[in-house]
Amino acid sequence: MERVREERQVQVNTGQVMLEGNLNIPPKATGVVLFAHGSGSSRFSPRNQFVADVLSKGGLATLLIDLLTSEEEEIDQWTRELRFDINLLASRLVGATDWLLQYEDTKDLNIGYFGSSTGAAAALIAATQKADHINAIVSRGGRPDLAGPALSKVQAPTLLIVGGSDFPVIELNQQAMEQMRTKTRLEIVPGATHLFEEPGALEEVARLAREWFQHYLGTPREA
């Protein structure tokens, strides 16, 4: 797929640490989607970069950041603990959201979260802490169940996308839906496994996410 994003490298001050990020703002953007990577992934994840390309073509700005610092990533490579520290990841998302609300080129845009794996749980928790500013959430192969009690407090419309062959995660998403009180939809991509590596699977994820965000992020907030 031809790349359409002209990214700018940004440093996102979360109030705790400085995180590296890639920001793209297409002309006349109607919203900005903050990506929450999980399970040891980074802003260079080819799957999330692919989705970001599709969102950009749909007129949506994207911010892909590493939720861990380089030092933390080195530690996590050995311990694999920080990637499951959902509250830590959520706090970083909250800080990145505050940054978007203050950054000149994004402060008037509606905000959505795109979470993958454990990043989906972090996005749901962060959304409860920034309820006035998060307009939509999409989870790809996520673990929303790890958000625990926060599930019933989520206000943003949430789309859960799971592979049809990812049976344990389907069940976990269904259980999470039962606890949620906001508008929630579960989309199962037939034949897809957890990483959506099958032909056409990731394209379907990107299409579903684009339509969800276009609908709920709508027009920019009034200054």
Confidence at residue 45, expressed as pLDDT on a 0 to 100 scale = 78
Least confident of 29-33, 48-52, 81-85, 107-111: 81-85
Of 77, 85, 93, which Cα lies nearest the Cα of 118? 85
Look up the domain containing 24 and give its range.
8-217
Query: Predicted confidence band at 37 (pLDDT cuts at 50, 70, 90)?
Result: confident
Residue with the bigger pLDDT between 79 and 188: it is 188
Mode of pairing for the β-strands spanning 60-65 and 31-36: parallel
Confidence at residue 16, expressed as pLDDT on a 0 to 100 scale = 80
Q: Residue range 112-127: average pLDDT?
A: 95
Is 35 within 8 Å of 64 (Cβ atoms)?
A: yes
Confidence at residue 3, expressed as pLDDT on a 0 to 100 scale = 44
Residue 222 resides in a domain: no
The percentage of the chain sitting over the pLDDT mark of 90, rounded to a whole number, equals 71
Residue with the bigger pLDDT between 75 and 170: it is 170
What are the residue ranges of helices labelled H in 46-166?
Answer: 46-57, 70-79, 86-102, 118-129
Mode of pairing for the β-strands spanning 18-24 and 184-189: unpaired
Tens-digit pLDDT profile for residues 143-162: 999 999 999 999 999 999 99
Instruction: Give the domain CATH number at 109.
Output: 3.40.50.1820
The token pair at 110 is 């509606």
CA-based R_g, the chain, Å = 16
Total number of domains constituting the chain: 1
The span from the CA of 118 to the CA of 154, in Å, is 16
Residue 3 resides in a domain: no
Confidence at residue 59, expressed as pLDDT on a 0 to 100 scale = 94
Please state, rounded to an integer, the average pLDDT across all residues of the chain.
89
Q: Residue range 77-102: average pLDDT?
A: 85
Confidence at residue 189, expressed as pLDDT on a 0 to 100 scale = 98
Confidence at residue 4, expressed as pLDDT on a 0 to 100 scale = 47
Residue 127 resides in a domain: yes
Is 53 within 8 Å of 5 (Cβ atoms)?
A: yes
Of 124, 186, 198, 177, which Cα lies nearest the Cα of 155? 124
